[in-house]
Amino acid sequence: MTKKTRNWKPQTALVHGGTLRSGFGETAEAMYLTQGYVYETAQAAEARFKGEEPGFIYSRYANPTVDMFEKRMCALEGAEDARATASGMAAVTAALLCSVKAGDHIVAARALFGSCRWVVETLAPRYGIEATLVDGTDIANWEKAVRPNTKLFFLESPTNPTLEVVDIAAVAALANSIGARLVVDNVFATPLQQKPLQLGAHIVVYSATKHIDGQGRCLGGVILSDKKWIDENLHDYFRHTGPSLSPFNAWTLLKGLETLPLRVRQQTESAGKIADFLAEQPEIARVIYPGRDDHPQAAIVKKQMSGGSTLICLDVKGGKQAAFALQNALDIVLISNNLGDAKSLITHPATTTHKNLSDEARAELGIGPGTLRLSVGLEDTDDLLEDIAQALKAVK
């Protein structure tokens, strides 16, 4: 039995949405750790394979626990349909490759998560799909990059790690004007603080590894769009290439969704206070935070995001040495390249997540030797402020 999700606000949908309760009436979502399904009769198997009878066939195709996760994500995102994947990168790769074919052209914002950039810049051209990377913050750059064979636009907003913001509605309008599609990687905003489908995007992808799990346990991803696009473009790819999410991880992510609004609210509130504190410190050259008035695209933030961010980008004066000193002096905040976790995490993009880019490509993205990305966790805000204050003394 699936509950109706009509008119539910996010906090309700995230607790009850998509629940498929078995005959035992369990309270918590059941974990169906099964590869396959059995049929009463040979005729029933035939009918199910023909699609004449509903039901599950094989867990590479679909699984009840994974189904609950997909339905709950649809309820949150306001999407008609979804497919869950084993990782965020499996979701991004499927969303992009299922939208184009050899001879097509992709325009993407150059500020992309490292692996997303590899898919667009390195993998896609191997199959005859050309890509142009642009500075996504100016719509004129997107317009200039359009070719007669442009079929897909791809962006991430806010971006990793410099939290640049791209005008999603403007790029969606451009995509619609030429009959192309827009894929938005909405990880940094979370499904609560930005609704790309409402802004005109056609496909939204998440790494559920980040805020959706939010407790550092498992990888996962999800692609959300209209039913027609999923049926026509994604369905067969999924069945036959198998990027499927494990039922165990789907269950973990379902539990993550229950507390997502509470966690994101708390983490954003803390991050706002920490960003304001950092902006006042003499050791810090620059703070980029989507909730502050001095954010380079503050007007677009106001237009398309309903909250700030759980992430902060900062530049420490004194370059790499000072950035390393600050990281090493932190007690509570851990050095890790993950984000969206209950634990506060800090990373130095130039030597970790963005180490494969050339110096010029990094400079273009605003990633300097002193740049750090801080993902604010669920610890007490005052404890975090105190930890950062004591660590800043190590920089002096």
Ligand X SMILES: *Cc1c(COP(=O)(O)O)cnc(C)c1O
For binding to ligand X (CB under 6 A), which residues are involved?
A: 87-89, 92, 113, 116, 156, 160, 185, 187-188, 207, 209-210, 219, 221
Give the residue with the Cβ less far from ligand X, 34 or 337: 337
Rounded to whole angstroms, the Cα distance separating 14 from 254 reads 8
Give the residue with the Cβ less far from ligand X, 47 or 361: 361
Instruction: Say which residues have a Cβ less than 8 Å from residue 189's Cβ, sequence separation at least 6.
Output: 157, 158, 305, 309
The distance in angstroms from the start CA to the end CA of the chain is 61
Give the residue with the Cβ less far from ligand X, 188 or 229: 188
State how beta strands 221-225 and 284-288 pair. unpaired
Tell me the closest approach of the beta carbon of residue 207 to ligand X, in angstroms: 3
Tell me the closest approach of the beta carbon of residue 91 to ligand X, in angstroms: 8
Tell me the closest approach of the beta carbon of residue 47 to ligand X, in angstroms: 37
Tell me the closest approach of the beta carbon of residue 311 to ligand X, in angstroms: 10
Tell me the closest approach of the beta carbon of residue 309 to ligand X, in angstroms: 12
Tell me the closest approach of the beta carbon of residue 42 to ligand X, in angstroms: 40
DSSP codes joined into one string, 234-279: IHHHHHHH--BPPHHHHHHHHHHHHHHHHHHHHHHHHHHHHHHHHH
Tell me the closest approach of the beta carbon of residue 164 to ligand X, in angstroms: 12
Instruction: Say which residues have a Cβ less than 8 Å from residue 294's Cβ, sequence separation at least 6.
Output: 279, 287
Give the residue with the Cβ less far from ligand X, 170 or 219: 219
Rounded to whole angstroms, the Cα distance separating 275 from 301 reads 16
Residue nearest to ligand X (CB): 88
Rounded to whole angstroms, the Cα distance separating 261 from 28 reads 19
Give the residue with the Cβ less far from ligand X, 90 or 287: 90
Give the residue with the Cβ less far from ligand X, 185 or 283: 185
Give the residue with the Cβ less far from ligand X, 107 or 223: 223
Burial class (CB in 10 A: 0-12, 13-18, 19+), 27: exposed
Instruction: Say which residues have a Cβ less than 8 Å from residue 43's Cβ, sequence separation at least 6.
Output: none
